[in-house]
Amino acid sequence: MIKQWFVYISIYLGMSFGVLKAQNAHGNAPENHGNQPTHQAQGEHATENHGASAKKFDLNELILNHIGNTNEFHLWGDLSIPLPCILYSKEDGLNTFLSSEWHHGHKAYNRYVSDHGAVRRIKDASFPSGSVALEGHGEHFIEHQQANGEEVGSITHQGKKYELEKPSGLLAGTSFYDFSITKNVFTMLLAALLLFFIFRYVAGRYKTHPNQAPTGIQNLMEVLVMFIVNEVAKPMLGDRYLKFLPYLLTIFFFILTCNVLGLIPVFPGGANVTGNIATTAALALIAFIVVNVNGKADYWKHIFWMPGVPVLMKIFLAPIELIGVFTKPFSLMIRLFANITAGHIIILALVGLIFVFGQAGQSIGGSIGGAAISVPFTLFLSIIELLVAFLQAFIFTILTASYIGAATEEHHH
């Protein structure tokens, strides 16, 4: 047992030092500080490993880059797995290409550029289409300026400045729509596929081996499903539980799988799906629809005309209860988003300590000191995060179930 743990911790330490070494290899630029042109060239080269070690180490930027959504899976250094970009605009129609066409933001492709994971379009229609190299200084290929309280991005090509549109969004009013398979979308699809095959297999096992003890993954799934049935669905919904059980099981397993995949730092995981406000907003919107569509007359009566209180109080309570209808799914959205994001930020900040103490690879002693602090803490927090991953999936499900239970309850006065 202890031997096993020793092996795990050694692997963990080894991986941490591997990262450290990769960071060191790029951190040699400051040695020729006096020589300006060489420094410039080195600085430009160092940007390839997404700007983390260029000049000064910026922990905030590292964290924000890692918790954000991007169009590629970054592995290490210059290496990344590209993902398909699907962009639609009225004039140009459908544009599909791999995100490797951007060369980590160094190039524009068909007037589209990548700005820290967000796709943006060059406003000027005369900008050449196809692959076009951008001119940048060091790590900055896109300039950000503030004008009238709004962020305006621009790029430089052959000495001329071109303005960028905002990233695509529902109400952003951009000329293009972004349907790209980003890191988050990929992980969501992966989670859905994984669950589909696991449950198909488990259901098949029950059919082919009736009245037998479950084995392997079937065992795990049975425990989790029975947990949701007995701890969530039955106590919260009573005899109406069978109608809502498929929905409850779906959200529980989807959130759990996405949370756990988010804890894996390398390729199949690494996406911060449930720590993305859009994802949790969609989950909360579905909960909102399920609760309100199934709301019985009693539920609406308790909102608009609370029984058993004086008339003046009824008028006073109605707007408060009406706000309550919206704050419940809103709190579901914020809770999941903030819990997962906070966990990721803490782990990234702890790993970032290595580079803060090591001054971005200049001081080996500092790096080792930082690693000595951060590795045990990261291990500890990763275990806490494993608990949180399960707990948040459970909390989301049980709160949704309790809202459904309250909405579908028939009172007998």
Partner 1 sequence: MYSAIGAGLAAIGAGIGVGFIGGKGLEAIARQPEAANDLRTNMLITAALVEAVALFACVIAFLGQK
Residues that bind partner 1 (CB under 8 A): 231, 235, 331, 334-335, 337-339, 342, 391, 394-395, 398-399, 402
Amino acid (one-letter) located at 345: I
Output the smallest distance, CB 6 to partner 1, in A.
33
Output the smallest distance, CB 332 to partner 1, in A.
9
Between 19 and 338, CB nearer to partner 1: 338
Output the smallest distance, CB 281 to partner 1, in A.
13
Output the smallest distance, CB 328 to partner 1, in A.
11
Output the smallest distance, CB 8 to partner 1, in A.
28
Between 235 and 324, CB nearer to partner 1: 235
Between 87 and 393, CB nearer to partner 1: 393
Output the smallest distance, CB 390 to partner 1, in A.
11
Between 202 and 340, CB nearer to partner 1: 340
Between 85 and 291, CB nearer to partner 1: 291
Between 112 and 394, CB nearer to partner 1: 394
